[in-house]
Structures are given as C-alpha cells and as structure tokens.
Amino acid sequence: MIGDMDVTLHLAQDPEADELLGRSPLAALVGMLLDQQVPMEWAFKGPRTIADRLGASDLDAHDIAAQDPDAFAALLSEKPAVHRYPGSMAKRIQQLCQYLVEHYDGEAELVWKGVDDGRELLRRLEELPGFGKQKAQIFLALLGKQLGVRPKGWQEAAGAYGEPKSFRSVADITGPESLTKVRAHKQEMKAAAKAAKAAGKS
C-alpha cells in the first residue's frame, strides 16, 4: 500500500481501476507513465487492464520485467488497446519494471519510502525510465497531495504542480468536477502554446 494506507483515487473515473491505483504503488507509476497523448482516464485505467489480462489482482514488477517483449506488446495491443501506442508503451513499462527490479528490488514504493527530502525524491523519480522532469514533478505532487507522501520541501520540488488547488495536473483530480477544471487548464495551455507559435511565425 502507498504510505501504509489505502487511498481512493479518482484518476480513471472507474471504480475498479481507481481502487488498484490507490493500493498499488506500481499501478500508480505505470498509470503516470501511460499519461501522455491519450485522455487521462484512459491512461490511468491501463494498469487495471494490464493486471486483468495477466490474470493478476495487482501488477508485479518482477513478472512484467520477465515477460516476453512481443507477448507483452500483444497483450497491450488487444482491443481495447491500453494506449494509442501500445507497442512502444509496452516497451517503456517493461523498462520501468526492469529498472525497479534492478534498483529497488521490484518494490515501487521504495522509490519514495523513507525519503525525507523533496529534491531527492524528485531526482529519484526523474531517474525512472519514461519520466522526464514534468512527469516526475506531477507524480511528486500526486504523492504529496493525495497519497500522504510529504518529504521536506516536496511542494517546492513539485513546482507549480505542488501549489494547493492549482488544477494543473492529475495531482489535483479528486472527482469529476476537478477533472473538468484540470482539462480546461490543459486546453488553455494548448491554446496559449498554439497562439505563441502563430505569433512567432508572423
């Protein structure tokens, strides 16, 4: 369990998928990894779909790391696919699990358990395969805001995502209403980036 407690998350907006995210540190990490180029709910439903297809109640880093890459890619590609790019995401999930096996004995929560400094935790998250700085900061904010993992300086390390009620990322989603706010923020950011790009061309 994350931070020795069972938390109810509302990222997939699907009770079974959210239940797994709240009790499984690896599922939460895999959901965060999948959260790009697809709607958030689709990404965070992925871990549950993968566990179901593996015939398991949870994700196991040792098991996933040892899967045949082609078979694992096929598992993610089955309809409905786990992601828009199931093949490349299967590879990334396996890389993440292999890294966790190598560095954390396959226990995802050891990435943050006992870490008492926000910057150190951010560094550890950034070292995970598939996690750039932004993804690491969002996950750090999620840990702090919803999962009770709050090392010293975590809000500063998470940047704007750590600000209370900033509604910038999945870290602030606690139900349909906040999901709408985060989605609106993302659309504003996209529109601003598009306008800036257009202005640069003129």
The 10s digit of each residue's pLDDT in 17-27 is: 889 988 999 99
Q: Residue 198 above 50 pLDDT?
A: yes
- The CA distance from 95 to 33, in Å, is 11
Per-residue pLDDT, averaged over 158-173, amounts to: 81
pLDDT tens, residue by residue, 66-91:
999 999 999 999 999 999 999 999 99
What pLDDT is recorded for position 166? Answer: 78
- What pLDDT, on a 0 to 100 scale, did the predictor assign at position 202? 54
Q: What is the pLDDT of residue 1?
A: 39
Enter the tokens of residue 183.
């989605």
Q: Are 69 and 91 in contact (CB under 8 A)?
A: yes
Q: Which residues, 6+ apart, have CB-to-CB distance to 69 below 8 Å?
A: 90, 91, 94
Q: Tell me: pLDDT of 176 over 80.
A: no
For the chain, what are the domain ranges?
15-164
Q: Which two tokens stand for residue 6?
A: 């069972």
- If 0-12 CB within 10 Å is exposed, 13-18 middle and 19+ buried, where does residue 48 land? buried
For residues 5 and 127, the model is more confident at 127
Altogether, the residues listed in the chain come to a count of: 202
pLDDT score recorded for residue 5: 45
Mean pLDDT, residues 102-121 taken together? 94
Handedness of CA 31, 171, 150, 16 (dihedral sign): negative
Once rounded to an integer, what is the mean pLDDT over residues 45-50? 95
Mean pLDDT of 94-123: 95
pLDDT given for residue 2 in this prediction: 45
pLDDT digits (tens, 9 = 90+) for 131-153: 999 999 999 998 988 888 999 99
Task: Determine what percent of the chain is predicted with pLDDT higher than 70.
Answer: 96
Query: What is the pTM for the complete model shown?
Result: 0.87
Mean pLDDT, residues 179-202 taken together: 77
Q: How far is CA 157 from the centre of its chain?
A: 17
Of 4 and 21, more confident: 21
- Alpha carbon distance 39, 161 (integer Å): 19
Fold of the domain spanning 15-164: Endonuclease III; domain 1 (1.10.340)
**Interval 83-107 mean pLDDT:** 96
Higher-pLDDT residue of 13 and 112 is: 112
CA–CA distance from 3 to each of 15, 52, 80, 147, 156 (Å)? 21, 24, 32, 7, 20
Q: Which long-range contacts (CB under 8 A, 24 or more apart) does 79-88 make?
A: 80/49, 82/34, 82/46, 82/49, 82/50, 83/34, 83/37, 83/38, 83/42, 83/43, 83/46, 84/37, 84/38, 85/37
